[in-house]
Structure 1
């Protein structure tokens, strides 16, 4: 399976990652990838950047080492209402927005509370991806989340890092179940490395096995084509690609 996009990557700006934007792009180029996202943690994460960092992402070139670069963020969900730690004025300027629950930012609720937090975050028109929903620290009603993703045109991430991360140990069975539900309900998924060091960019080995095991249809996997992701971002109203599309 050829996956050419990795939008979930963290730089030194996240406070607990160890590579620069250039190092991430260089590794992606070496691996023959077409597109990456720079999606550092929002400011509620201990050690992360201030929101002014997001505002200045506009200075990044669209391509680095011939790899297309999406300007983004992994915003932290702060409460059951789905509020994020990044203001709308910042979100509207970005190419891709991931939203996720992190126990460094909020204490986990029960299944109902965690589910509410995710489905309310998906009501935010700027949110494109729900990060690592298989995290057992935040148990959810998986089918409710998947159906809400379908309703709101939000991508569900199957996170490769969750399979070997100590902080999300025990994610495997949840990820398999979520992926099967996405297949059942025809909800597109996006694979993320969740890289915190450049060599991890584009590492999808565990998720590729999962997708092969459940025979996930390729049309439901966004990472197989940059054009597929661009089409999705146009549907979500991202100005970068709407402008590009109108010029063609």
Structure 2
């Protein structure tokens, strides 16, 4: 029987977690994440390490590790294979789409943006291209770029949200970076964008810990209006 879930009505899912395959992991591992998810009462967890780190360690080795532990898990927890993949400046993924097709979930993340006067316009161009390209399921921390939270013009926020909705891409509520901003979250609700809570966990204790998401949605008085991502939604990406 699942333990009491303190964050209802948030879903019991965490589809953005890191393991020993990410160099930035503190104490997370594939097995540790699965165990932590079970203890927290989650129903779904995805292992989504940084693509560039996984390529260095070996893509097939990575997938095999997750699948082996998935097959040996008898708790009822759904374990998904995934990656956090950098969005390049042309909106394309940092690795082959052929490899992406082998994954259950792909997180697209814009980590770096050139420091130029037209950075807002660059953000728009990159995001629109990426959201229309159909290679990822979830957009990671949309207001956390260049290792900081950024302020986006409200009209750009709505444009990104509308592109996400039209292309069936969810936007994550990221506890690690406390992203996106209040304005972005409210725009997601108004444009009927699908959302998903994630830990972006690099520390075991953070897996499935959604205090920030729960309190933010409660403060904004929009908890009951959120459209949540389901596992079935992940099948919409062309494979």
- TM-score, length-normalised on structure 1? 0.79
> Does 1:155 find its partner at 2:163?
no
Farther off after superposition, 211-220 or 12-21: 211-220
Q: 1:108 to 1:194 in 2, by over 3 A?
A: farther
Q: How many aligned residue pairs are there?
A: 216
> Does 1:220 find its partner at 2:220?
no
Report how far residue 158 of structure 1 moved.
1.4
Matches within 5 A, 1:68-87: 68-79=78-89, 81-87=90-96
Q: 1:53 to 1:139 in 2, by over 3 A?
A: farther
Counterparts of 1:77 and 1:131 in 2: how far apart (Å)?
10
Counterparts of 1:11 and 1:194 in 2: how far apart (Å)?
10
Report how far residue 197 of structure 1 moved.
1.4
Q: 1:108 to 1:204 in 2, by over 3 A?
A: farther
Q: Deviations over 1:38-71 (max 9, x none)?
A: 000121xxxx232673344442144535221110
Report how far residue 8 of structure 1 moved.
0.6
**Is the 1:42–1:86 contact (alpha carbons within 8 Å) kept by the matching residues of 2?**
yes
**Which position in structure 2 is the counterpart of 1:186?**
192
Report how far residue 139 of structure 1 moved.
4.8
Unaligned segments of structure 2, at least 5 residues: 1-6
Q: 1:37 to 1:194 in 2, by over 3 A?
A: same
Counterparts of 1:78 and 1:70 in 2: how far apart (Å)?
24
Query: Which structure carries more strand by proportion?
Result: 2
Backbone CA RMSD of aligned residues: 2.1
Report how far residue 118 of structure 1 moved.
1.7
**Which position in structure 2 is the counterpart of 1:15?**
23
